[in-house]
Structures are given as structure tokens and as C-alpha cells.
């Protein structure tokens, strides 16, 4: 499951971090701190979501 988790994480982490940055920029926050916090929040949110999806996919294969 670790390989599946890492593969899914590479996709979901960049997607959710990008969504967070896009939201922050759309709200008008153009400073570096806001952009980095949004990217970090997206990355943190991606971890449990990806773990759940990988576990669900792995359980469905058995």
C-alpha cells in the first residue's frame, strides 16, 4: 500500500496545494507568507485524504 499511497500523494498533494494557492491569490493576498501557508495547508489536508483513498482502493482489490 505504501507505493500506492506515494503515487496518489504526488498527485493529490500538488493538486490541493495548487487549489489553496489559487484561492489565496483570488482573495487578493499576494504576500509570500499567505501563499506558503495555503500551500502547506493543502499539503497537510492531502495526507489523510490520500491515506483513506489508498486504503479503500487496496481493500477493494482483495
Give the pLDDT confidence score for residue 61 in this predicted structure: 73
The residues near 39 (Cβ < 8 Å, ≥ 6 apart) are 17, 20, 21
Given a contact cutoff of 8 angstroms between Cβ atoms, the answer to whether 13 and 35 are in contact is no
- The model's pTM: 0.85
Give the pLDDT confidence score for residue 41 in this predicted structure: 97
Give the pLDDT confidence score for residue 1 in this predicted structure: 73
Residue 18: give the domain boundaries. Answer: 2-61
Rounded to whole angstroms, the Cα distance separating 45 from 27 reads 20
Residues of the chain where predicted confidence (pLDDT) is lower than 50:
none
Q: How many domains does the chain have?
A: 1
Amino acid at each position: 500500500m505504501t507505493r500506492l499511497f506515494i503515487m496518489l500523494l504526488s498527485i493529490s498533494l500538488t493538486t490541493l496545494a495548487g487549489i489553496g494557492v489559487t484561492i489565496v491569490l483570488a482573495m487578493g493576498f499576494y504576500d509570500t507568507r499567505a501563499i506558503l501557508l495555503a500551500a502547506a495547508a493543502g499539503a497537510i489536508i492531502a495526507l489523510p485524504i490520500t491515506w483513506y483513498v489508498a486504503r479503500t482502493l487496496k481493500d477493494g482489490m482483495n
